[in-house]
Amino acid sequence: MAAAPFARFANADLEEITSTRPTPFYAHDLDGMHAAAADLVASFGNAPHLVAYAVKANSSASVLRTLVAGGAGADVVSGAELELALRVGIAPSSIVFSGVAKTDAEIDRALGAGIASIHVESIEEIARVAARARSLSVRAQVSIRVNPSLAKEAIATHAHVATGHDEAKFGVLADDMPFAFEALAREADAIDAVGVSAHVGSQLTEVEPYVASAAALMTIAQEFRRRFASTMRLVDTGGGFGIDYGSGCPVTPGDFIRAARPLLDRAGLGDLRHVIEPGRCLVAPYVVLVSRVVQTKASPSKPELRWLLVDAGMNDLLRPALYQANHRVAVISGGSGPLRPWRVVGPVCESSDDFGLHALPEEPPRIVCFRDAGAYGYTMASRYNGRALPGELFLRGGVVVHEVGRASDASWVSERLGA
């Protein structure tokens, strides 16, 4: 059976688009992202909320503007992401700032902008933020990111993206919260204690770990409210909503909200702003990484070994090398005959530059794409091996509305010559 070609994407003809462009490039379906954001926002009904999109997943301005038009704000983790969010016009009141090691300059920028919350991740950071606020003569809006201390095995995701257990560097341990409360009270002249947050892990394909994390957070949030009733404004249950990378995902992003909302209501916290921090689910399914096949490689003595060498590498899409992620490979053009297993690999000089085994036509395709590549794709790209960063193009209504071409090799050479 021949593979069904994946020629149409976002109502556009990918083969035609690719015919005039160098590869690899990321193609974005902005309409799909807009609908995903609007759907998630709608799942809150009338409850006060903030869908704080995790900018680290995909930071293209076109993506940010699209998600904001769908009703989202931003969760940022660096001064640069904060600056970008502000520059694309996201209201400071719709921005939260997480991160374990914020510099003074980053804290100052957040304080100056007046964002909704600086999510501090340690007791030490409370004093640092207070000191910066005093020196700038402003009041800091501070939430505590809580590490809900779940058992590692209770967080059903890859170990590298599980964050809500004791060995993770993130957040203040639930057991340490009394000390965090004391620190907040001590710094009350400079800090408004606005809430609590938690993020248990990424690519969750069941709601249970999210609910367990939210349940632990609610107990802490109730105590927080008892102590800081006049300033508490939000409860942030984090992101991590999984998507279907090909092996199934029985839950939708809205399911996480529908599971977590009753916890807030039961805890008497339903009037607070319910913040969530989704990244992946708003962008991953709506992007493909398009790549040309450079050549095949076979072993005459070991015919079971067959490689499809493509022009995209781990520098363009790191997830498979970083945490054994699988991205389905689809045919855009070329390819005929029965499906055979091909090991799809890139040009980078590393054994881990390997996208895995994929069933592709015997007569190999000319152009392929890696599906569901919109999260932690371009944002993790590097120039390793002197490779240019991949291009990015953005589709709306079936037409290319914006694009950034792939950089040239020459630009890398001149940059390195200057070092």
Binding site residues, ligand PLP, CB under 6 A: 54, 57, 75, 98, 163, 199, 202-203, 238-241, 277-280, 375
Least distance from ligand PLP to the Cβ atom of residue 387, Å = 25
Task: Say how far apart CA 371 and CA 363 lie, in whole Å.
Answer: 21
Q: Which amino acid is at 314?
A: M
* Nearer of residues 130 and 204 to ligand PLP, judged by Cβ: 204
Least distance from ligand PLP to the Cβ atom of residue 133, Å = 22
Residue nearest to ligand PLP (CB): 279
* Nearer of residues 279 and 346 to ligand PLP, judged by Cβ: 279
Least distance from ligand PLP to the Cβ atom of residue 75, Å = 5
The tokens describing 397, both together, are 């209504």
CB 100 within 8 A of CB 78: no
* Nearer of residues 249 and 294 to ligand PLP, judged by Cβ: 249
Active-site residue 281, yes or no?
Answer: no
Task: Say how far apart CA 354 and CA 339 lie, in whole Å.
Answer: 19
Least distance from ligand PLP to the Cβ atom of residue 278, Å = 4
Question: Under 8 Å CB-to-CB from 271, ≥6 apart: which residues?
Answer: 48
Task: Say how far apart CA 264 and CA 182 lie, in whole Å.
Answer: 24
Least distance from ligand PLP to the Cβ atom of residue 264, Å = 18
* Nearer of residues 194 and 345 to ligand PLP, judged by Cβ: 194
* Nearer of residues 115 and 388 to ligand PLP, judged by Cβ: 115
CB 116 within 8 A of CB 92: yes
Task: Say how far apart CA 261 and CA 333 lie, in whole Å.
Answer: 45
DSSP state of 42: H
Tell me the backbone φ, ψ of residue 387, rounded to 5 degrees: -85, 140
**What 3-state DSSP class applies to 201?**
strand
Least Cα distance to 373 among 116, 68, 25 occurs for 25
Strands 73-76, 172-173: pairing kind: unpaired
Q: Is the dihedral of CA 348, 29, 374, 341 positive or negative?
A: negative
Least distance from ligand PLP to the Cβ atom of residue 241, Å = 6
**What 3-state DSSP class applies to 79?**
helix
Strand positions, DSSP E, 219-286: 234-236, 273-276
* Nearer of residues 56 and 233 to ligand PLP, judged by Cβ: 56
Task: Say how far apart CA 356 and CA 327 lie, in whole Å.
Answer: 9
Residue 384 exposed, middle or buried by CB count within 10 Å (0-12, 13-18, 19+)? middle
Least distance from ligand PLP to the Cβ atom of residue 181, Å = 21
Task: Say how far apart CA 258 and CA 275 lie, in whole Å.
Answer: 14
CB 270 within 8 A of CB 307: no
* Nearer of residues 75 and 106 to ligand PLP, judged by Cβ: 75
Residues carrying an active site annotation: 349
